[in-house]
Structures are given as structure tokens and as C-alpha cells.
Amino acid sequence: MNEFVKRQFNLDCLRIFACFMVVLVHVSTQKWYIADPNTIQWKIYNMYDSSVRSSVSLFIMLSGALFLNKKELSIKKLFKKNIWKLLVIYCVWALLYGIDSLGAAESIKPGNLFSLFQQIVYPKYHLWYLPSLIGIYFLIPLFWALAQFKEKKYLEYGCIMFVLFGILRSTFSAIFESHETINAILNLIPYELCGLSGYFILGYTLVKYKGLFTKIKLRYLLPVLLAAIIITAKVEEYKAVNFGDLRGVYYANSALPTFLEAIIIFGIFLKIPSKIENRRISDIVTKISRKTLFIYLVHVFILEHLESWFGISAAMFNAWISVPVISIIVFIISIFLAGVVEKIPVAGKWMM
């Protein structure tokens, strides 16, 4: 079966969109922590931030939708092709960012070797995703077995537990964080499904019931999505302005607003056909989709050096324009670099 037949166009589109969301998150938060929350500029950063916080959740949901839909699963292949490769990629990029932080000349000095090694343990902020993904991949055989058992009903049960003891528990904990008694009660509730693994099984379950989303019209989904984005942004704005709280607890992957945003966006892309007749468009989407991991890994380097080398940042001009424009620039440069690196034999294998 050729690549054109095997790929799912709608999921490839979603992967690209989620990757761009990640870039937008980091562009919008570049000055979010240091700008004055009372300014219009900060409020615009915050609104953009609120609109794309489900990016990582969407990546995990995509992985679940694809892995758990396999008719056969080879544990040996999973470890060799996925887990081992991700581990090497993580170490390579952690070291590259470490060299970038210390400087190439300083990195090779004997006294800095330990500092360079520490970059693997304390990597660049966005690299946390790879160890988390590796941890989920270790659990794939268990999730896959559940997906094959008794008409997949146990995965549905897992999704319910994820919502109850993961999303809702975390959200209520954030809402009532100043109430010791309520938090003590919430801490008694199991929270093992609070992590990203819940999104993994959720992605597969949503694909299984994708017929439900095709029946829901966009004019109903989009207002709910917009309301979730605006309300969450305003709540975080209120906390920042009145209490100086910049933790963004309602932007967490385990928060209800992020959960709703992820489900709605995932559902919208499920409405797109999985196959299209236009071979040229399909090939372009496939090629970009294959580069998304590299884009995720390299975009922070580009973003930081656009500012350090050229003074280009979201604070340059009106944030309504600067955030998306810089995000597009970073995204395009990342795609270009991915095209260059993939042609280099060793680098193409272990960097993307």
C-alpha cells in the first residue's frame, strides 16, 4: 500500500495545526511573564496563549488515535522504532541546546562537561514533552490490549476515569486552591489518570465515535470553543492583575478549559475527509506532517535567536499582528531547516 493511501489527510492536517499552535504558545508567552498584566499588550499575549494551550494534548490524542487503531502491535518494533529513537533524539537535542546555552567554545572545556551533561537532566523548557511521550509509549501495549478487548468498552471506562479523576479533580483543585478542607478532600481522590496518558486513550475513543462529531455543526462547536478561550483568558487575566498570579493553572493540560478546547478542535478536524483526491495537496500536507517533530524541537532555538541576533520579538509592535506574524516566520524557517536536515544521513535519522 502506497503512502498516499495509508496517510489520513485530516489527522495530518491536525498534526500540522497542533505544531503551529505550539509555536504560537511560545511566541505569545515570550514576553507574557515579564510584561505588565495591566497593559493591552499583555492581554493580547494572554488571549493568544489561551487559544492554543491544547496543542500538546492534541499531539498525544493523535498518537493514541493512530497507535491504538493498529490491528497488530509489535513490542520489539515499538521499542526499536519509537521508544529508543525518541530517547536518542531527546539526548541529542538536550545536548544541542546545552551547547547553545554555554557556547560552543565553552562546551568543550573539561570544566564544563558536567554542566553540559546536566542539560539532559534539566533540558530546555519545551523538551519535557519527549520524556512524557516515552513514558506513555511504555504503556502502549497495555492500552492496545484494552482496545482489542470486549468491544473496547474498557477504554471508554478509562476515558470516564480520566475526566472524573483527572480533568475535573485538577480543575476543582485549582478553583478551590485556597480552601484547605476542600483540597484535603480532593487529595483523597485518585489522580493517577491525571496525566497525558488519559489524552492518549481519549484520542482513539474520539476517532471511534467520530460519527458524533460529523453530526454536530460547526456553528455549534465554534461558539463553545470561542467561549472557552475567552472565559479562560479573562480568568487568568483577573488572577494576574489582582493577585500577580502568573502560573496559568487553567492553561494546564489537566484543566477543564484545555480539555474542552482539545476535544472541540480534534472533533472539528475529524469532520475533514481522511482521504482527498488532490494528490498534490495530500503530498504537501504529508511532507509537512512528517517534519512536525523536528519543527517542535528546533522552533525554540529559532525564536530565541531571532531576538538575540536580530532583535525580533513579539514586543516589537502591536501584539495582535506580531504574535501570528512571528509564529509564521518561525514555522516557515523550521520547515526549511527540516528539509535541509532530513537530507543529511545521520542527522536526518536522529534529529527528527
- Domain span at residue 210 reads 3-350
Determine contact, residues 45/314, Cβ cutoff 8 Å.
yes
Instruction: Identify the band that residue 319 occupies on the pLDDT scale cut at 50, 70 and 90.
Output: very high
Q: In this predicted structure, which of 93-107, 133-147, 233-247 has the lowest mean pLDDT? A: 93-107
| pLDDT at 20 (0 to 100) | 98
Q: In this predicted structure, which of 49-58, 135-144, 155-164 has the lowest mean pLDDT? A: 155-164
Q: What angle do CA 258, 65, 63 make, to 5 degrees?
A: 75
* Mean pLDDT value across residues 190-206: 79
| pLDDT at 47 (0 to 100) | 97
Contacts 24+ apart (CB under 8 A), 174-183: 174/249, 174/250, 174/252, 174/255, 177/249
113 three-class SS = helix
The more confidently predicted of residues 295 and 211 is 295
Q: Which residues, at least 6 apart from 296, have a Cβ–Cβ distance to it below 8 Å?
A: 19, 22, 126, 129
Instruction: Identify the band that residue 150 occupies on the pLDDT scale cut at 50, 70 and 90.
Output: low
* Mean pLDDT value across residues 8-34: 95
Using the predicted structure, report yes or no on whether residue 224 has a pLDDT greater than 80.
yes
Rounded to whole angstroms, the Cα distance separating 297 from 85 reads: 14
Which amino acid would we find at residue 299? H
From residue 290, give the alpha-carbon distance in Å to each of 21, 26, 167, 315, 352.
16, 21, 30, 32, 9
Q: What angle do CA 34, 39, 44 make, to 5 degrees?
A: 85
Rounded to whole angstroms, the Cα distance separating 50 from 222 reads: 15
- The residue with cell 463553545 is 224
* Mean pLDDT value across residues 224-242: 95
Tell me the pLDDT of the chain averaged across its residues.
Answer: 88
Which amino acid would we find at residue 165? F
- How many domains are contained in the chain? 1
Q: In this predicted structure, which of 70-84, 130-144, 190-204 has the lowest mean pLDDT? A: 190-204
- The residue with cell 486513550 is 201
Using the predicted structure, report yes or no on whether residue 327 has a pLDDT greater than 90.
yes
Determine contact, residues 194/225, Cβ cutoff 8 Å.
no
E strands, the chain, are: none
